[in-house]
Structure 1
Amino acid sequence: MSVNAMTVPAGEALEVLRAGWEAQKAGHITASYMLHGRPGVGKTQVVEQLAREIGARLFDLRLTTIEPQDLRGLPYYDHETRKTRWYRPEDLPDDPDEPSILFLDELTAASPMLQPTVYGLLQERRVGRHVLPRTVFIVAAGNTVEDGAIAYQMNTALSDRLIHLHVQAAAADWLDNYAVPKGLDASVVAFIKTRPDLLDTTERAVAEGHLIATTPRSWERVSRIMGAVAERRGRNVLIAGTVGEAVAAEFALIADDIAATVQVQEMLEADRKARIALYPASMHGLNALIYGLIGVLDARNVEEVIDCMAEIRNLARHRPEEAFARMPLGELCTYGFEGLIRKGLEIGLGEHFLGNEAYRAYAAERKAAGL
């Protein structure tokens, strides 16, 4: 059966779960939520981010690795009452004063023998005599049969106990809400910015019978490889084993171009005349520079970073290369400032923008253009 719920990017799924938590905390609604989505799309990261935001303890249960008794507990004989009682498992939250998230991951891949126990958690918020406190927020996640993952069809008895969200990878959402804030390698971020169709190729890989597909999770792994392996040949072999040979070959060309042309720290230390000559003359290079500037922004270099970002819109006037005349420099500059300001506000540097001459000139130009 297909998941006939609304399809949302990971960032919006986080917003919906955040609203659900607030509604539960206020006593308006207590429900269990189900995140459907392809492997690596970011379902686990959404739940982990929610736990950090609300200050909740995360109980992460991978249902493919446990047996029914792991949730139900183990019986023991109470000689005094002549009754069988149960030892409750320690993996279930029980603190009524501490926010907790019970994350039932890989629900659709769990053994059918486990499902009756899970039903009680999702609907009645209890296992045996143990009742979950109201401070516990329940989220489940899983793949579907169509994703090429190991999964069982979800039956109606289980489906009816959940509020369903279909999480799908979206390049803009992933870049703005995950890749850039987490500081992923600039070459990965720039590549997905210009090739958003390669963020998630799971459907294509399944159709073509390929084992390896790209996913948000695999691109995060590529980012770690870029930072950990300096030797080019070995690095390329590892990346090909992560995202597939064809995609890795295309990515390698971009990564080499960026490595040769993007020199963020050198630009920040140069005077304006020398800095102009250091701007990369390609879309990939400029995108990587933008994300690099956002990544290094802090209180020590905020003025220089703003100056570098503002100059992007003027490159066609200062550099003779025809490439600059063809590129949407104004749009690149605006996109860069959106990310830069967002980070600046997060780390308490917002006032520096209003006081910076280059930013004021940029803002005045946009206002004069009615933007």
Structure 2
Amino acid sequence: MRISEAKQCIIELYKNTDCVTALVSERGVGKTSAFQQCAQELDIGYMGLYAAAMEGPDFMGLPDKDREKGITRYLAPQFLPTCTAVAEGIFPEKGLLVLEEINRVPTDTVSVLYPLLLERKINGHQLAEGWKIGVTMNPDTLNYAVNSLDDAMLDRFTAIEITANLDDYITYSLKNGPCDDVLDYLTACPDMLLRVKKAADSTATSKSPTPRGWSRVQQLLNNCSLPEKLMQELISGILGPETAASFFGYLKNREYTIPSAEQLVTDYNAVRPQMAKLTEGGRLDMLSLVLRKVVSLLDGSEIQCKNLDVMLSDLPEEVQLLFFKLLADAKPELFLGIAQQTSIFSTLSNQILQLLS
């Protein structure tokens, strides 16, 4: 399942059930980010715990004497959004409590978590009604040092297996500091977004690309000024030497360059030759990336719409239709206002309606 699809499921499960949602995937695909984004979209709280670094007593809480009744009670852990903690304003009324790497948790700690995952309470402390639980885990393969969870534990989860998807990754990147060179390379070589190593190759020094790694590379390229040799060494340390060599080799030998999205919507004539080369070369993959970048910047201003109108008139019809679909999906509130300012909208309106229906 794609991350965008998994997020839809997480939101529906949060709203309508008490299920414990488990996201399962290879490393660096975005399990934690998916839960965080869902919390943001729902406008609720988020508490992430690296469960593998915690022990049973951390969850059980410290014992405290109740001298009046002659019994021992347990104090609730600081990180647990209990009914009392919510009532006292320590946590918001609603949220997601996510236990990271649940299948790296020591066996004796796993047994402590059973009542929390099944009954939403632990040692007399009830999880607040508006808080739901999620967990993340890597698959139980030779590539990962994880513990096998028994059927009793797995039965408590609604498991969702997610995979890396380039469209989802580009959408995420466009909102979080994109680097044109990286997105250009991945568009041309989508199989390099994630490479799953064979068990025999899984060592500390045999790194391979992941979406998380590519995000670090984008941050590095956007913010650091280093000689190419040093930059390649650093990227080798993130993605592995083979991927780094492939990436830099592509940048040196590529025939096309991706024009600046900002220039496309503010000074289109300055980058018109680059767009013409992509169109004449039939690079629909690159044109799709360009349109997604453009859509991410659109705010409906007059200058943008004027440049957009000229750009769309240069594109083949199938790419024009793709633009309107991307705009409707990403910014439905701006769709009609922007579309009506383009000269091709009236000509393509019937096809656009069919495409969007």
Normalising to structure 2: TM-score of the pair?
A: 0.83
Relative distance call for 1:111 and 1:123 in structure 2 (3 A) is same
- Is 2:119 aligned against 1:130? no
Q: Does 1:353 align with 2:339?
A: yes
SS in 1 for 2:161: strand
Contact kept, 8 Å, 2:143 with 2:198, in 1: the verdict is no
For 2:64, the equivalent position in structure 1 comes to 76
Q: Contact 1:186–1:289 at 8 Å: present in 2 too?
A: no
CA shift in 2, pair 1:120/1:308, >3 Å: farther
Residue by residue over 1:224-243, the C-alpha shift from the partner in whole angstroms, topping out at 9 and shown as x without a partner, is 11211233333222222211
Secondary structure at 2:338's aligned position in 1? helix
Match of 1:140, SS? Answer: strand
Contact kept? 1:294, 1:339, Cα under 8 Å: yes
* Partner residue of 2:192 out of 187, 198, 201: 198
CA distance in 1, matches of 2:318, 2:235: 31
* Cα distance in 1, alignment partners of residues 213 and 265 from structure 2: 31
**Structure-to-structure mapping, 1:163-242, within 5 angstroms:** 163-176=158-171, 178-202=172-196, 204=197, 206-209=199-202, 211-231=206-226, 232-242=228-238
Quick one: which amino acid aligns to residue 76 of structure 1?
Answer: D
Change in Cα spacing, 1:259 to 1:281, as seen in structure 2 (3 Å) is closer
Cα distance change on mapping 1:238 and 1:302 into 2, 3 Å: same
1:305-316 paired onto structure 2 within 5 Å: 305-307=307-309, 309-314=311-316
Kindly tell me: are residues 240 and 309 of structure 1, through their superposed partners in 2, closer, same or farther at Cα, counting changes over 3 Å? farther
Does residue 66 of structure 1 match 2:54?
A: yes
Q: C-alpha separation between the residues in 1 aligned to 2:48 and 2:345? A: 45
- 1:246 matched to 2:242: yes
Alignment match of 2:36 (pick from 35, 41, 48):
48
Shift of 1:127: 0.4
Q: Which amino acid aligns with 1:310?
A: L
**CA pair 217-309 structure 1, distance change in 2 beyond 3 A:** farther
Looking at structure 2, the residues matched to 337 and 230 of structure 1 have their Cα atoms a distance apart, in angstroms, of 37
CA RMSD of aligned residues (A): 3.0
- Letter aligned with residue 262 of structure 1: P
Alignment identity in percent? 22
Report how far residue 71 of structure 1 moved. 0.7
State the distance in 1 between where 2:248 and 2:319 align: 23
Q: In 2, Cα distance between the equivalents of 1:41 and 1:93?
A: 27
> Residue 262 of structure 1 aligns with which residue?
259
Structure 1 runs not aligned, ≥5 long = 1-7, 25-29, 315-329
